[in-house]
Amino acid sequence: MSVYVALTRGGQPWEPEYIEAVSHEKCIGCGRCFKVCGMDVLSIMGVSEDGDLVAIAEDDEDDDGEIDRKVMTVKYPENCIGCRACAKVCTKGAQRHVKVAVNAA
């Protein structure tokens, strides 16, 4: 199996690192990663007092106190292009990325 390495515009080797998960322990729900991602990979969710993920209402209401805090989740990992922009803006280092080996055709 060969590892696929892309090239930058300048011809330098570049290996994408795709988002695998967001640590809910580290994430503070600031939304910076969501704002910088142009590929619709991430979604913000609420966390209840019990630690369960809860959908957030579109009007951003507190859902009658069900939400203790907000965290980012990986909603569409298949959309990730491996740019790591989300990791670059995260002040808490909450994202985990992986390199994916691809068979060269």
Query: Residue 103: its pLDDT value, please?
Result: 53
Pairing mode, strands 53-54 and 13-14: unpaired
Question: Is residue 33 within 8 Å of 86, Cβ to Cβ?
Answer: yes
Among residues 46, 39, 105, the alpha carbon closest in space to that of 73 is found at: 46
Rounded-to-integer distance, Cα 38 and Cα 42, Å: 10
- Side by side, the strands of the sheet bearing 53-54 are 53-54, 42-47, 69-74
| pLDDT tens per residue, range 32-79 | 999 999 999 999 999 988 888 998 877 655 555 788 899 999 999 999
Query: Residue 57: its pLDDT value, please?
Result: 77
The pTM assigned to this predicted structure is: 0.80
Across all residues in the chain, what is the average pLDDT?
A: 87
Q: Does the 20-98 domain belong in CATH 3.40.640.10? A: no
